[in-house]
Structure 1
Amino acid sequence: MFRGVRAVLFDLDGTLIDSAPDLGAAADGMRLRRGMSSLPLDRYRPLAGSGARGMLLAAFGVTPEHADYEALKVEFFAAYTECLLQRTQPFHEVQEMLGLLQERGFAWGVVTNKSQRFTGPITQAMPLFATASAIVSGDTTPHAKPHPAPLLEATRRMSVSPAECIYVGDDERDILAGRAAGMGTVAARYGYLGAGADVAAWGASAEVSSPLELLNLLEVA
């Protein structure tokens, strides 16, 4: 049970929204344009939390060290821009969970490594985000997660101290960033997690298997 919490911060992809279908479609379209076969979504989903890096690894087996990586990344970003709102939806229970958080007096916000180029259109188009007190993207501050800077920027915008926040995410870097910022942390086991992730080894303060489980961890003032 977390006590003294006034605000809850969330990662975006894999925690609040299921964007894997659109991310995968952008990468798969690149394969199809090259005459390659389509891959099923379950090949892309575990790597969706890593954005372009994960999608290009799934689609082409390339890493950032590959000579073609930067050109492929530019192509992927262009493709994703064209489809980023076609299939993306909030995870089951997320809307209800956020509504109950607010009813109980908690503010909430988003801290994502997704660049503003994509975060802005998604959060502006989805009614879910109308009540967010802060939305911080991967390029809002000079550092991205696992650096604590984006989380601390969110607390500044929300006028709360880090000790009054918890951070919820589905990747180890989320837990590392939250701990570095001095926040309680929650691992979202329903998210993308990453291939072979050992969630128990991340060192999160708590874990949840569904969004609504989060409410059981918060003491209402």
Structure 2
Amino acid sequence: MKGRVFSGIRAVLFDLDGTLIDSAPDLGAAADLMRTGRGLHALPLERYRPLAGSGARGMLQVAFDMSPEHLDYEAHKEEFFVHYEACLMQRTRAFPEVSEMLDALMQRGLTWGVVTNKSQRFTTPLTRAMPLFDTAKTIISGDTTPHAKPHPAPLLEAARRLSRPSAMCLYVGDDERDIAAGRAAGMQTVAARYGYLGLGADVSRWNADAEVTSPMGLLKLLELP
């Protein structure tokens, strides 16, 4: 744990992949199926994990060294989506301590929700399949608003739906875009160091208000209401 102790927080918003759930095994498996289907050798999960938070863009970068500028990127992306849709919940699990941490937040009278760049196509079936999300008061997908993170629009929409001012919301994420979006929305921010982070990420340069190395570490940053 690193950073300040927050006061006046009434709602906690979380990124999804790499912050609440470990979806890297399913994301990596979908991309690797594309590799093996083309006669390429399989890659270990450890290659995919750091970029799992970037979704299709990150997985295609690992699997094929393919960027969005590639002529075949859109076709590969849709193929990846089809494979991922087929294995969406085969290996995905909540990170250890997440369920206990969310229970503790609610016991303190705080509400919580999700703001992810994952499209509704995947967010809705995934969160409906996991009892973990039954108590979430709002779930904002990457296509809920016209803009995705790092734009503040998704976070502002979440605050609006929770009827909470941004200044009373805390946003927790494992990517620099999460911290940038939270700050732009006028929220306090926490970097989840236990998440995917990205290749070569220097979390200390993200300018998060605090950092945690485990989900339960978040509770130590919150003053009791």
TM-score class normalised by the smaller sequence:
over 0.9
Superposition pairs of residues 127-138 of structure 1, within 5 angstroms: 127-138=131-142
- Following TM superposition, where does structure 1 have runs of at least 4 consecutive aligned residues deviating by more than 3 angstroms? none
**Which residue does 1:164 correspond to in 2?**
168
**Which residue does 1:173 correspond to in 2?**
177
Which of 185, 191, 209 is the aligned partner of 2:189? 185
- Equivalent AA in structure 2 for residue 169 of structure 1: G
Which of 188, 208, 212 is the aligned partner of 1:208? 212
Per-residue CA shift, 1:58-114, capped at 9, x if unaligned? Answer: 000110011111110010001100001000000010000000000011100000000
Could you tell me how far apart the structure 2 residues matched to 1:155 and 1:203 are?
21
Question: Does 2:17 match 1:18?
Answer: no
- Equivalent AA in structure 2 for residue 106 of structure 1: L
**Which residue does 1:124 correspond to in 2?**
128
Aligned length: 221
**Which residue does 1:220 correspond to in 2?**
224
Per-residue CA shift, 1:185-221, capped at 9, x if unaligned? Answer: 0000000000000000000000000000000000111
Task: List gaps (5 residues or longer) in structure 2.
Answer: none
Superposition pairs of residues 40-51 of structure 1, within 5 angstroms: 40-51=44-55
RMSD: 0.4
Could you tell me how far apart the structure 1 residues matched to 2:163 and 2:224 are?
19
Question: Does 2:93 match 1:65?
Answer: no
- Equivalent AA in structure 2 for residue 104 of structure 1: R
Could you tell me how far apart the structure 2 residues matched to 1:67 and 1:149 are?
30
- Equivalent AA in structure 2 for residue 17 of structure 1: I
Q: Secondary structure of 1:100's partner?
A: helix
Could you tell me how far apart the structure 1 residues matched to 2:72 and 2:163 are?
44
Could you tell me how far apart the structure 2 residues matched to 1:160 and 1:175 are?
19
Deviation at 1:47, TM superposition (A): 0.6
Question: Does 2:2 match 1:2?
Answer: no
Q: Secondary structure of 2:122's partner?
A: helix
Per-residue CA shift, 1:146-171, capped at 9, x if unaligned? Answer: 00000000011111110000000000
**Which residue does 1:96 correspond to in 2?**
100
TM-score of the two chains, using structure 1 as the length reference: 0.99
Per-residue CA shift, 1:120-172, capped at 9, x if unaligned? Answer: 00000000000000000000000000000000000111111100000000000
Per-residue CA shift, 1:172-195, capped at 9, x if unaligned? Answer: 000000000000000000000000
Superposition pairs of residues 77-116 of structure 1, within 5 angstroms: 77-116=81-120
- % identity of equivalent residues: 73
Q: Secondary structure of 1:15's partner?
A: coil
Q: Secondary structure of 1:102's partner?
A: helix
- Equivalent AA in structure 1 for residue 169 of structure 2: C
